[in-house]
Amino acid sequence: MLESNAIPTIWITNDVRAIDRAVVRRFDMSIELPIPPKEKRQEILQNYSADLLSQEAIKKIAKEAHIAPALISRAAKVVGSVREETADTSKAFEQVINSTLKAQGHREITMQNDELALPESYDPSLINTTIDLQKMVDGIRNVPSARLCFYGVPGTGKSAFGKYLAERLDRPFLLKKGSDLISMWVGGTEKNIAAAFKEAKDEGAILVFDEVDSFLQDRRSAKQSWEVTQVNEMLVQMENYEGIFIATTNLMDGLDQASLRRFDMKLEFNYLKRDQALKLFLDEVKGLKIRKPSPKVQAQLSALRNLAPGDFAAVKRQHRFNPITNALDFVERLREECSVKEDTNSHKMGFVA
């Protein structure tokens, strides 16, 4: 029928892989219509939502990579029909979209504060590495591509620095976690990995894979064939990617050996030095409007081992529902954060100099 049909016909499918290859090659032309990049999704939301969405809501919904134009138009139609009975149309819009995303097997969108936003007090000088990070930022600004591996203990600011780099270079920031990429279907994870690199390329974004050890485990220890194919897909995508890619991991020793040579730079993020910890402590105390700590309290802070920026962030989150009363209370809570860590530097005293 395809070869003999004289009537111009358009065939539409949501999954071209479900069609036999012998059939596909008989079409005169095959055109892919992917979900638009983030900037275009934002434009579509702006056009269809009228005044149903705030600018903040438009930006956050547009970040979801599975938002198709049809989903936007249908959500706008539903919310528009009940807007008189709806106090918060942005929330209603979110609920309609989330119900469809969930039914399709995708994660839901949250309209809470952007978890990727850097705190106002963010300071890259408080990252303990072996190189000058500012010089690295300036160097990356002058090259079209870079493959970086940030490794080290949790909470040392690996992913946050990726966000800082994106802001300094005025580039979109695309963070992918295991929950975004790991699929229950055979071949699904590889497809999601490839889609992430394609999305970053289309948007000109800095791509960050958080906890990349989930996808780059040493193939010599693989027990299932799909464990090998996931690593293979990652390696191929890394090799061919021409943008800026950052992989973060807490488990450097478990990465596949072939992946290590594909990184242009492997940079370790360590615990805070003594002066870094003190500076961050004083900045946070000032931000919380707590009385300046006495020299004795500062000395107690300096006695703590294995402090990371993530510890300060955790204590600040506690402050929302369990207010910090004074500087000494702040130090005690930091001490508790340190006490639950696995001590990987038991032979060292104080901070890493």
pLDDT at 312 over 60: yes
Q: Given pLDDT bands bounded at 50, 70 and 90, which one contains residue 352?
A: very low
**What pLDDT, on the 0 to 100 scale, is given for residue 351?**
47
- Residue 353 pLDDT greater than 50, yes or no: no
Range of 100-109, 134-143, 250-259 with top mean pLDDT: 134-143
DSSP string, 1-17: -TTT--S------S-GG
In eight-state DSSP terms, residue 249 is E
Task: Identify the residue with better confidence: 224 or 52.
Answer: 52
Span 332-350, average pLDDT: 73
Q: Say yes or no to pLDDT of 158 above 70.
A: yes
- The most confident of 36-50, 102-116, 174-188, 239-253, by mean pLDDT: 239-253
Closest C-alpha among 185, 176, 184 to residue 234: 176
Distance CA 212, CA 218 (A): 12
Contact between 133 and 157 under an 8 Å Cβ cutoff? The reply is no
Q: What is the mean pLDDT of the chain?
A: 88
Residue 108's pLDDT is 83
With a cut of 50, say whether residue 86 has pLDDT above it. yes
The answer on pLDDT for 349 being more than 50 is no
User: What is the β-pairing status of strands 173-176 and 265-269?
Assistant: unpaired
Instruction: Determine how many CB atoms are found less than 10 A away from the CB of residue 321.
Output: 6
CB 294 within 8 A of CB 334: no
Kindly tell me the sign of the dihedral angle through the C-alpha atoms of 294, 298, 303, 308: positive
Backbone angles phi, psi at 333, to 5 degrees: -70, -35
| Closest by Cα among 320, 312, 317 to 337 | 312
What tens digit of pLDDT does each residue of 23-81 get?
Answer: 999 999 999 988 888 888 889 999 988 788 988 888 888 878 788 899 999 999 999 99
C-alpha atoms less than 13 angstroms from C-alpha of 73 in its C-beta half-sphere? 3
In Å, how far are 143, 160, 163 from 282, measured between CA atoms? Answer: 37, 20, 24
**E-only strand ranges, the chain:** 146-152, 173-176, 206-209, 244-249, 265-269
